[in-house]
A and B are shown apart, each in its own frame.
Chain A
Amino acid sequence: MNIAVCVKRIPKTAEADIFIEKDGKDIKKDNLVFALNDWDGYAVREAVLLKEKYEGEVIVLTIGPEESKEVLTRCLAMGADRAVRIEAPSSSDGHLIAKILAQATKGQSFDLILTGVQAEDDGWGQVGVALAQLLGLPHASIVTHIEVENGKAKVRRELEGGIEELLEVKLPAVLTIQTGINEPKYVSLSAILDAEDKETKEVGLEEIGFTSKAPLDATIDQVSFPPTGKMAEILKGTPEEVVGQLTEIIKKKKG
């Protein structure tokens, strides 16, 4: 069973102070740390678990600049066999990313192509589904469980309201992986250091035969902070005072 996993390097913003670039088109990233997109980590772990069960090979792909190599190294440390970095300028056009990935994967004998449901930074959630369409493959999104049997994958999908859908998908197929599908292992620094010696293939767009100059579907005009909500009230004072005010508010609302 050969599995390709498409991954992305993203800036970690949860704890960070966020500032917007002067041109207003992006956030400032020079003070941020970067990591493997959370969803993609689950996808790589799932691919490695499937490989342990059904044998085969796990190949990880990313599109991005030189620095993206570090997330591929992490994937190799997690148990992926090979890594490919496609050199291309970063883009927030999910369709373009899917087109490049389709060009890079088409004609190869993958049984499964996995992506994360979405990326932590842009959060479009488009690439996996668009990729399936471009490759003419069946797909399932927001997948929380995979079992493979007789050329088919039985998958569970997460729907709204805690409902799950059970599907049978013919292989090869594209699945977008939801967090929580497995328990990610710790990736030790020594495993990462060992993985640095494994080869990462680096290719340009022309090398993979990607020549499309079609205009972008989406470009970012402006990013901004959400407007401060009117409902939010920030309590001020010492912890004791704040707790006092808070209990008063809760008492009132209850009554």
Chain B
Amino acid sequence: MKIDPKTFIHDYQLNICIQCGTCTGGCPVKFRSPLNMRRLVRETHLTDNFSSISKRAELWACTTCSTCSLRCPSGVKNVELIMGIRNFLANKGEVPSTIRDALENTLLQGNPWGRFRDRRADWAQDLGVKIFGEETSETLFYVGCAPSYDPRVQSVSTSLVRIFQKAGVDFAILGKKESCCGNEIRRMGEQALFKKLAKDNTALFKKLGVKRIITISPHCYNAFKNEYPDLNIPVQHYTQVLVDLIEAGKLHLSKELGISVTYHDPCFLGKQNKVFDEPRKILNSIPGCDFIEMERSRERSLCCEGGGGRMWAEGGTEGKRNGEIRIREAVALAAKTLATACPFCLLTFEDSVKTSGLAEQIVVKDIAELVMEALEVQ
């Protein structure tokens, strides 16, 4: 399928841009790369030579955080433009080699890291979790790629399983049959692969009679909720589920943690999907958890740079990473824990804690891990 860049003007409404610069002003990578959204919109609109624009390395610096398009007063589809250009490039095979590998791995093994498909549920082996196919449930706990394979994020998956079991939630996982949700795949420009994943996953969920989906990652949540065309199954991020369980009295958070904690809103949970209150409600329900709000919070949360395929990109940006800036902001608030609710945020912050040399002063935790600690499960 050939893509004609001339359709971008209409598809992404480039002609209604008033060149106000709001997009560039709010862009979290504007100091770290030559990416300039305002210019990109105008140049793509007026150019006779699109292929020279498409060759710019900074197109891969965008994290698809969506700050630009959410703030644009005219309704230009900025992030869709980036994804459209990346799709144009992917179809021509012209993507950076690390992105290429991530996409090829996903087609072959169902995850961007190319880890063995049969090992996807190894983390759950001794947890007594139901697996679709062997047993059934109306609730699918969709784990996702990073929480299945990354040892740091597996701890979030394990915590949630224990929490759900403790609260008596009936659920099952897909085990080896789970494949990537495709959210990042679409953002790396592989629209056709995204469509295939969406189609295959939707068919699988329906065949298994799934009535509700719970996700760990806000990225999977976003894909299922907003971008799967025929899913029609209610989707919840786990923070929404935990709030319900706490409010229904099914989770007794009894252990005093004695920590001061601040919270980083993940872009795909917060500004893009408006789940702001649930994570805060959970933190406020944990005994001995002194919650401090960050200055840049909720819609203004500073992107950690883990989205938009940046987990698989190399370089393209310079200077201090936003993750480090964020860690410093948290330390300046005298918070001893930086909590978040996204596998990518968790991983980028774990890196940043180390590179900034602040590992003695602050720890990074997922909200699910804090809830688990407060549950005092042996």
Contacts and interface: CB of A to CB of B under 8 A. Distances in A.
Interface string A16-35: 11000000000000010101
A190 interface: yes
B313 interface: no
Nearest to A187: B93
A31 B103 contact: no
A16 B95 CA distance: 27
Contact of A15 (B91, B95, B109): B109
B93 A189 contact: no
A108 to B, nearest CB: 29
B280 to A, nearest CB: 32
Interface string A173-206: 0000000000111111111011000000000000
A31 B118 CA distance: 8
Contacts of A16: 116, 118
Given A33-B108, A194-B1, A189 B118 contact: no
Interface string A146-188: 0000000000000000000000000000000000000111111
B321 interface: no
B109 A186 contact: no
B192 A186 contact: no
B103 A186 contact: yes
B334 to A, nearest CB: 26
Contact of B97 (A31, A183, A190): A183
A15 B193 CA distance: 22
A15 B115 contact: yes
A77 to B, nearest CB: 9
A191 B100 CA distance: 14
A12 B118 contact: no
Contacts, number: 54
A40 to B, nearest CB: 15
A35 B119 CA distance: 19
A189 B116 contact: no
A15 to B, nearest CB: 4
A189 B109 contact: no
Contacts of B124: none
A15 B97 contact: no
Interface in A2-20: 12, 15-17
Contacts of B90: 186, 188
Q: How large is the interface on A (under 10, 10 to 19, 20 to 34, 35 or more residues)?
A: 10 to 19
B196 interface: yes
Interface string B117-145: 11100000000000000000000000000
B93 to A, nearest CB: 3
A186 B1 contact: no
Contact of A186 (B94, B108, B116): B94
| Max count, chain B CB within 10 A of own CB: residue among A33, A186, A191 | A186
B299 interface: no
A225 to B, nearest CB: 17
Interface string B180-209: 000000000011110010000000000000
Contacts of A12: 108-109
Nearest to B1: A190
A17 B118 CA distance: 8
B196 to A, nearest CB: 6
B116 A15 contact: yes
Contact of B104 (A17, A183, A186, A194): A186
A193 B1 CA distance: 9
Nearest to B91: A188
Contacts of B191: 190
A115 B193 CA distance: 29
B107 interface: yes
B34 interface: no
A183 B93 CA distance: 11
A129 B192 CA distance: 39
Contacts of B287: none
A187 B94 CA distance: 9
| Max count, chain B CB within 10 A of own CB: residue among A185, A187, A190 | A190
Contacts of A35: 108
A188 B100 CA distance: 9
B26 interface: no
Contacts of B94: 185-186
A189 B190 contact: yes
Contacts of B104: 186-187
Interface in B37-77: none
Given A15-B115, A33-B117, A189 B196 contact: yes
A123 B139 CA distance: 46
A42 to B, nearest CB: 13
A190 to B, nearest CB: 4
Contacts of B116: 15-17
B114 interface: yes
Contacts of A187: 93, 104
Interface of A: 12, 15-17, 31, 33, 35, 183-191, 193-194
Report, nearest first, the 10 A-B pairs whose CB atoms are least far apart: A185-B93, A186-B100, A189-B192, A190-B192, A15-B116, A186-B93, A190-B1, A189-B193, A186-B95, A16-B116
17 contacts: A12-B109, A15-B116, A15-B119, A16-B116, A17-B116, A31-B118, A33-B109, A183-B97, A188-B90, A188-B93, A188-B193, A189-B190, A189-B193, A190-B1, A190-B91, A191-B91, A193-B192
Given A185-B92, A186-B94, A186-B95, 15 more contacts: A15-B114, A17-B116, A17-B118, A35-B108, A184-B100, A186-B90, A186-B93, A188-B90, A188-B190, A189-B107, A189-B190, A190-B192, A193-B1, A193-B192, A194-B1
